[in-house]
Structure 1
Amino acid sequence: MGRDGRVGRPLMSGRSRARAASLLLVLAAVVVVLGALAFHQSRAGSLDRAVDAAVIAGYGGHAAAAVWLAAPGAGLPAALCTAAVALACLAAGRTNGAVLAVGAVCLSVGAVEWVLKPLVGRTYDGFLAFPSGHTTTVFALAASVGVLVHPSSTHGAWRSRTAVAAAVVLACVVASAVIALRWHYFTDTVAGAAVGVGTATGLALVLDTPVARGLIARAASRVQGRQGA
Structure 2
Amino acid sequence: MGRARDTRPAVPPPVRGWLGPIGALAALAVLVLGVRYAGHGRPGAADAWVQSAAEGVRPRWRRLALATDFLGEPLGAAMLLAAVVTVCLLLRRPRAAVLAVAGTGLAVGATKLIKPLVGRTIHDGHLSYPSGHTAFLTALALVVALLLAGRLGLGRTAGALLVLGAALAAGAAMGWAQVVLGAHYPTDALGGWCTALAVVPATAWLVGRTTGAGRRERR
Q: How does the TM-score come out when normalised to structure 2?
A: 0.83
How far 1:169 sits from its partner (Å)? 3.1
Q: Which residue of 1 aligns with 2:192?
A: 192
Q: Which residue of 1 aligns with 2:175?
A: 175
User: Unaligned stretches of 5+ in structure 2?
Assistant: none
How far 1:92 sits from its partner (Å)? 1.1
Q: Which residue of 2 aligns with 1:83?
A: 82
Which stretch shows the higher mean deviation, 176-185 or 5-14? 5-14
State how far apart, in whole Å, the 1-side matches of 2:13 and 2:165 are. 23
Counterpart amino acid of residue 74 in structure 1? E
The yes-or-no answer on 1:95 pairing with 2:94 is yes
Cα distance change of structure 1 residues 165 and 96 upon mapping to structure 2, 3 Å threshold? same
Q: In 2, are the aligned partners of 1:124 and 1:184 still within 8 Å (CA)?
A: yes
Q: In 1, are the aligned partners of 2:37 and 2:118 still within 8 Å (CA)?
A: yes
Identity of aligned residues (%): 32
Q: In 2, are the aligned partners of 1:104 and 1:140 still within 8 Å (CA)?
A: yes
Q: Which residue of 2 aligns with 1:116?
A: 114
Q: In 1, are the aligned partners of 2:65 and 2:181 still within 8 Å (CA)?
A: yes
User: What is the CA deviation profile of residues 14-39 of structure 1, one whole-angstrom value per residue up to 9, with x for unaligned ones?
Assistant: 44222111111110111001000110
Q: Which residue of 1 aligns with 2:153?
A: 152
Q: How does the TM-score come out when normalised to structure 1?
A: 0.80
Q: In 1, are the aligned partners of 2:139 and 2:167 still within 8 Å (CA)?
A: no
Q: In 1, are the aligned partners of 2:171 and 2:189 still within 8 Å (CA)?
A: no
Counterpart amino acid of residue 55 in structure 1? A
Matches within 5 A, 1:61-76: 63-76=62-75
Q: Which residue of 2 aligns with 1:132?
A: 131
Counterpart amino acid of residue 146 in structure 1? A
Query: Would you say how many aligned residue pairs link Structure 1 and Structure 2?
Result: 207
State how far apart, in whole Å, the 1-side matches of 2:23 and 2:167 are. 20
Counterpart amino acid of residue 66 in structure 1? A
Q: Which residue of 2 aligns with 1:12?
A: 11
State how far apart, in whole Å, the 2-side matches of 1:195 and 1:86 are. 21
User: Unaligned stretches of 5+ in structure 1?
Assistant: 218-229
Q: In 1, are the aligned partners of 2:22 and 2:197 still within 8 Å (CA)?
A: no
